[in-house]
Amino acid sequence: MATMRLSGMVDRRTAVLGIAYSRAIRRAQTAVWAGVAEAEYEARRLDLRRQNLVSSSTRERSAVSRRGWQQIPKSRQKQYLAGTRRPQKHVIDDVAEHAPGSDKAFRSVLWQVLSPQTDLQTCMVIVSMFDERKLETFVSDLLLGHPHNVVEHLADLNSTGALVAHIRLLVHRKEPDRAFDEGCALAQALCYHAVNPLFASGAPLLWDLISQGVFVALELCKDKLKFSRCRDGFRHFSKALWERLVSAQALYGVRRLALGASFKWETIVDMNHECIRGFATPELDRPDILQSFLDVGSPNARISSQLDKDPLFLLRKPSF
């Protein structure tokens, strides 16, 4: 366990989280790594299929498809995707040859700053390397509804990690209002991960991990509001966002017969930013843009009801 001098308030719950929480970090790290590897393989396969429409290089196609992630048996792939089996270093390196993003995701600073064993001195270094001013701009643009200015950070787990590190520092400095605001920005970042083809499969585990280790563990409160676990609420909301994306791809013929390109990340951010900002805005009356989005069609109406049962923000009970 890290010392109180360096770890700050997060250590109040270290004993409670303990080994189980460390295991949850490893599980989420593995699941996200595997999800990125699978997504990158799928993108590579589609690109190769397009190439083969104008080339008869079947031999080349077969050779590529049997390397990296695809070389792993399906049963083991499922274990990696669920986070129940930890990949060995040689597996990570082999997969990285054809899915470089997987290696970047596995070695992200996010996993380090989530660990209760990581002290605040390390968090300070991570924030400094990211650039604190750049981080403040990242948070401000999200809170003000301008995610198009920071699209590159929304596709990077290291940006999420820097945000977690800064929240830990703010709580230690007893700046709860700023920490709460950055928690709202963090919730938005996690929602964007849920609609990112690279991170979507591991997003629920990542949300559970951060909600347990950051939102609740740090007890961020502001204006009589506090974060809840919102486990089911996030799962239903992120599922609705993903289904919207899939429907839009079908409507516009994206990736039809592997001939068209997928939506660019900038387009995905633009399609979802109003809904995501509404979900992560700490107001008792949910913004109209979010409510209208959820009320369209019976499936979304059920999701709206689920969010009412499991909201992201709760009224804080007064302490006596």
Q: 5-9, 178-182, 194-198, 315-319: which has the minimum mean pLDDT?
A: 5-9
**Residue 246 token pair:** 């899939």
CA separation for the pair 18, 20 (Å, rounded): 6
Whether the predicted pLDDT of 92 surpasses 60: yes
Whether the predicted pLDDT of 316 surpasses 80: no
Q: 4-13, 98-107, 219-228, 292-301: which has the minimum mean pLDDT?
A: 4-13
Q: Given pLDDT bands bounded at 50, 70 and 90, which one contains residue 77?
A: very high
CA separation for the pair 59, 4 (Å, rounded): 59
> Looking at residue 56, what is its pLDDT?
53
**Residue 58 token pair:** 């079947």
Q: 22-36, 47-61, 235-249: which has the minimum mean pLDDT?
A: 47-61
Find the DSSP H helices in the chain: 4-7, 14-52, 58-65, 74-82, 89-96, 100-106, 109-114, 120-130, 132-144, 151-154, 157-172, 176-194, 203-210, 231-251, 265-279, 288-294, 298-309
CB 3 within 8 A of CB 119: yes
CB 138 within 8 A of CB 150: yes
What percentage of the chain reaches a pLDDT higher than 70?
Answer: 78
Q: Which residues does residue 315 pair with via DSSP β-bridges, in sequence order? A: 225
Pick the more confident residue, 254 or 24: 24
Q: Given pLDDT bands bounded at 50, 70 and 90, which one contains residue 208?
A: very high
Q: 108-117, 126-135, 156-165, 212-221: which has the minimum mean pLDDT?
A: 212-221
CB 130 within 8 A of CB 164: no
Q: Model pTM greater than 0.85?
A: yes
CB 254 within 8 A of CB 248: yes
C-alpha triplet 26, 31, 35: angle, nearest 5° = 150
Sort strands 313-315 and 221-222 into parallel, antiparallel or unpaired.
unpaired
For range 48-76, the mean pLDDT = 68
> Looking at residue 224, what is its pLDDT?
81
pLDDT digits 0-9 by tens, 23-45: 999 999 999 999 999 999 988 87
C-alpha triplet 237, 240, 243: angle, nearest 5° = 150
What's the chain's average pLDDT?
A: 83
